[in-house]
Structure 1
Amino acid sequence: MIAAMNRESFEQFWPAFKDIILQQETYAFDAEMTCEESYQLWCASPIRSYGWFEENVVLGTYYLKANAMGPSNHICNCGYMVKPDAGGQGIARKLCEHSQLIARQLGFEAMQFNSVVSTNERAIRLWKTLGFDIIGTIPKAYRHPRLGYVDSFIMHKLLG
């Protein structure tokens, strides 16, 4: 079930969030971020934040926010995380589909992912199946802990 995230549900998800940012393989977040800083980034600052709940356990989450201000505020941006032990269950797909529905309801006309690490092949395949295109490559944009500098992609989808 998808429902809005709050402080309590984020704190429940925090160990998985922390583990993902410590790995430094998919998110350009500071590995030293605190739970409070992460909550502010993921839940308080964005327009919306939702989680995938099973038996009151948060298995995945996403945020939705405007990608820019003013004349570009019709394009939104989202970030998604799924607990590593819950991967492969279709949760990221369901969260992305839900985020597109909510984005349309909020009046957004497009969705853009600003920095999808090129080595995150699983996510790239999923986003492509959901209609996103790679519209740009940022050379050596990400310092991968095992592979060194790798490219990041800008991915985009019109929601109309």
Structure 2
Amino acid sequence: MLIRDAVAGDWPLIYPFFAQIVAEGRTYAFPEGLSLDEARPWWMESPPGCTVVAVDGDTILGSAKMGPNRPGRGSHVATASFMVDPNHRRGGVGRALGRHVVGWARDAGYRSIQFNAVVEANTAAVALWHSLGFRTIGTVPEAFDHPDHGLVGLHVMWLDLTN
């Protein structure tokens, strides 16, 4: 598996699993039913952020987008989002993308990484981020309407990069 910067030609290959994951309604609060062109700015970051893909040959296994959590006085904290193609889950793609993002943020001089909205019912993601050193620093109760569990919390997760 190789992780590289995404290029414009990758978007049509990311979009099918982006649309599937959004439509499942279990992990992202993105608007549903977005067309290829409408969804692009929701995932393909512009500088100072970037989007990467995890690939095996010509197959895109997953993708991550990252950048500053907030502009100006909040720009020393990074944030990121991750999607693994459902056909390639449980193969270490999410962990590899997570490690890549942590390294990218550290190399870019960010002091920490903050995930603003990790669905608490997404136990695989929560366990992954904890295993990579993230802490759950708070949970917004009933902030996400999950199709199976109803109203569930959104975790704010944080990793210190200064150590």
Q: CA deviation at 1:36?
A: 1.7
Q: CA deviation at 1:38?
A: 2.1
- 1:108 maps to 110
8 Å Cα contact 1:7/1:39 also seen in 2: no
Q: TM-score, normalised by structure 2?
A: 0.94
- 2:160 maps to 158
> What amino acid maps onto 1:21 in structure 2?
V
- 1:117 maps to 119
Deviates more, 1:68-77 or 1:110-119: 68-77
- 1:16 maps to 17
1:36 maps to 2:37: yes
8 Å Cα contact 1:42/1:63 also seen in 2: yes
Aligned with 1:125: secondary structure? Answer: helix
- 1:75 maps to 77
8 Å Cα contact 2:45/2:65 also seen in 1: no
Q: TM-score, normalised by structure 1?
A: 0.96
> What amino acid maps onto 2:138 in structure 1?
G
After the TM superposition, list the runs of 4 or more consecutive aligned residues in structure 1 that deviate by more than 4 angstroms: none
In the alignment, the residues of structure 2 paired with residue 45 and residue 26 of structure 1 have an alpha-carbon distance, to the nearest angstrom, of: 23
> What amino acid maps onto 1:38 in structure 2?
A
Stretches of structure 1 lacking an aligned partner (at least 5 in a row): none
- 2:54 maps to 52
Stretches of structure 2 lacking an aligned partner (at least 5 in a row): none
Q: CA deviation at 1:44?
A: 3.6
Deviates more, 1:41-50 or 1:123-132: 41-50
8 Å Cα contact 1:6/1:43 also seen in 2: no
Q: CA deviation at 1:111?
A: 0.3
CA RMSD in angstroms comes to 1.1
Aligned with 2:90: secondary structure? Answer: coil
- 1:98 maps to 100
How many residues align? The count is: 160
> What amino acid maps onto 1:30 in structure 2?
P
In the alignment, the residues of structure 2 paired with residue 32 and residue 87 of structure 1 have an alpha-carbon distance, to the nearest angstrom, of: 23
In the alignment, the residues of structure 2 paired with residue 55 and residue 45 of structure 1 have an alpha-carbon distance, to the nearest angstrom, of: 25
Aligned with 1:25: secondary structure? Answer: coil
